[in-house]
Structure 1
Amino acid sequence: MVQMYSIAGQKIGSHYLAMGVLSALFGGTYFAVSGPSPAKKAAQTPPINASSPDEEDFIKCDSEPNSSSASAVANIFALRKFLDSADKGEKTKQ
């Protein structure tokens, strides 16, 4: 037999209470984890304050997620190009 609880003057079986608690738990978890709807706009990135176009390209490449090894190689070349231009700038200042 089922254990019956008296709630607001009604007799409710324990299995209904358990189903209610579990559905509230899993439903609340689903809505909490589901994230924002696609209709919301993504946050804008802050402006890039670069002193040269090479530095700006490097910052843009560095902020993008790497989805393949080809983009990782491109980031390495962009870094080398930026560092070479920075070295030339320091040599001319001295």
Structure 2
Amino acid sequence: MGSAYQILGRTYQPHQLALATIGLLTLVVMPNPFAKKQPKVVEIKGDSKEEEQFIKDYLRKHQS
């Protein structure tokens, strides 16, 4: 065999270290699939109450 590394008293082959590194980086970089996603809330600000109500009614009527 080729060279091996001694880590904490155990012997590891280079390919084992490479696979462990790739696995660890994948876990760190991947987003959490179990995280609860909060729906985006858009704050509607109009010049007057009537304008805000018109926008809310329009969005409610045309939501798909």
Scaled by the length of structure 1, the TM-score of the pair is: 0.43
Which residue in the other structure is 1:85 paired with?
A: none
Which residue in the other structure is 2:48 paired with?
A: 51
Which residue in the other structure is 1:10 paired with?
A: 10
Q: Which runs of 5+ in 1 are unaligned?
A: 63-70, 72-94
Calculate the aligned-residue CA RMSD, in Å.
Answer: 3.2
User: 2:17 aligns to what SS in structure 1?
Assistant: helix
Is structure 2 residue 35 aligned with structure 1 residue 37?
Answer: yes
Flag as ranges the 4+ runs of structure 1 deviating above 3 A. Answer: 40-50
Q: Which runs of 5+ in 2 are unaligned?
A: none
Alpha-carbon separation, structure 2, partners of 1:37 and 1:7: 35
More helix by share: 1
Larger Rg: 1
Would the alpha carbon gap of residues 37 and 50 (structure 1) be closer, same or farther in structure 2, given more than 3 Å must change?
farther
User: 1:37 aligns to what SS in structure 2?
Assistant: coil
